[in-house]
Amino acid sequence: MNPDGSGVACDSFSQARSLLTEPGKTAVLHLTDPDDAELAELAEAFDLHELAIEDAREGHQRPKLERYGETLFCVLRPTAYNDAAEEVTVGEIDVFVGKNFFITVSRNTYYPWFRRLDRLPRELSPESGLLSGPQTMLWALMDVVVDGYLPVTNGLENDIDEIEVELFARAPGVAQRIYELSGEITNVLRAARPIVPMCDALLRGAQKYSLDVELNRLIRDVQDHAIRIVERAENQRTSLQNALTVHSALVSEQQNEEMKRMTEASLDQAEAAKKISSWAAILFTPSLIGSIYGMNFVDMPELHWRYGYPMSLMLMLALSLGLYLIFKYKKWL
């Protein structure tokens, strides 16, 4: 591939096709949400492999780098973070890189990297003093996408810090928030991790495809940034896993405390029931004797006995005292 070709932004297939025969020129074409007819015309105009076109048509591809003859097909997954919703939105951009063309098929055009696409031909022109050419444009796009992961991980980091505060404050809904953020971090890892081997593949083919030494350094720099993003996201996921473990421990501790309080309350209720039952038994004995002799039947024994009344009182007192001492001994009172 020619690393010295200056890029020319094209507005149509015909304009891009006309540049293919001009030496030192790179046709730059950006397509947003193309339909099947446009993709078919693209494949015919630039002799693109049908498998690459099929991937671009279906979308939702994993990040990857594949070579079809002299054409590179690259899938990148830029991300953006909605801090209010705590949600990582993942886009997709499919890139076709040939000897003298650089074509992107993108979705979700509001991403910052899309605006950068329009500036690439000017930024990488010979007048800019920078390297130019289709593979340099691929590096520049990868650099923008990887740099876009940093604010996403920063936003996730802030939310993780908030979770750590809420965790020990035992705020409601922390477990769900941890689980959802873990899923968002997984989305970042799925987008960023494949870029590391993609850069390896580009560097391995540097000599075979005559890449500039400076371009190799730039690609290695993108790889280093991607590695740092992946390591940071891995650390964040580990932090959330630890937070979930701590949350489980705190919930178990709270449940144990609740169980302890319930047990103590049950014991208190049992003690109260013992006391009530003891006094009820003590009071029941004199009531029973008094109720029997309160019937006033003529033929009742001891009804006309001279000492019946004091004997009844003494019997009531003795039985009540005896029951009191028994319950006291058993620590019911």
User: Are 135 and 278 within one domain?
Assistant: no
Tens digit of pLDDT for each residue in 100-127? 888 888 876 555 555 555 555 454 544 4
Residue 257 inside a domain? The answer is no
Count how many residues are written for the chain.
Answer: 333
The rounded mean pLDDT for the chain is 81
pLDDT for residue 255 is more than 80? no
Partners of residue 10 on adjacent β-strands: 29
Q: Domain of 122: which CATH number?
A: 3.30.460.20
Beta bridge partners of 106: 32, 93
pTM for this one? Answer: 0.72
Assess whether pLDDT exceeds 90 at residue 149. Answer: yes
Rounded Cα distance between 7 and 299, Å, is 130
306 in the same domain as 181: no
Do 196 and 273 share a domain, yes or no? no
The predicted pLDDT at position 246 comes to: 87
4-13, 23-32, 207-216, 283-292: which has the highest mean pLDDT? Answer: 23-32
pLDDT value at residue 114: 54
Digit-coded pLDDT (tens) for 202-223? 888 777 666 778 888 889 999 9
Residues 229 and 278 in one domain: no
Cα separation, 142 vs 64, whole angstroms? 12
- Distances in Å between the Cα of 70 and the Cα atoms of 30, 238, 240, 286, 295 are 20, 41, 44, 111, 119
pLDDT tens per residue, range 150-182: 999 999 999 999 988 888 888 888 888 898 999
Residue 2: the pLDDT is 36
Question: What is the CATH number for 311?
Answer: 1.20.58
Residues 246 and 273 in one domain: no
Q: Are residues 62 and 105 in the same domain?
A: yes
Tokens of 130: 């920078």
Q: Cβ–Cβ contacts within 10 Å for residue 190, how many?
A: 15
- Helix (H) / strand (E) element for 61: namely none
The runs of H, that is alpha helices, within the chain are: 13-19, 36-46, 50-58, 112-123, 134-169, 174-192, 195-204, 213-293, 308-329
The last residue of a domain, from among 210, 227, 252: 252
Domain with 292, as residue range(s), is 266-329
pLDDT at residue number 126: 45
Domain boundary, last residue among 217, 252, 287: 252
Q: Which pLDDT score is estimated for 7?
A: 61
Residues 66 and 184 grouped into a single domain: yes
CA distances from 317 to 25, 139, 284, 305, 326 (A): 120, 104, 12, 19, 14
- Contact criterion met (CB below 8 Å) for 215 and 136: yes
Written as one string, the DSSP assignment of 209-263 is TT--HHHHHHHHHHHHHHHHHHHHHHHHHHHHHHHHHHHHHHHHHHHHHHHHHHH
Q: What is the pLDDT of residue 5?
A: 46
* Contact (Cβ atoms closer than 8 angstroms) between residue 53 and residue 42: yes
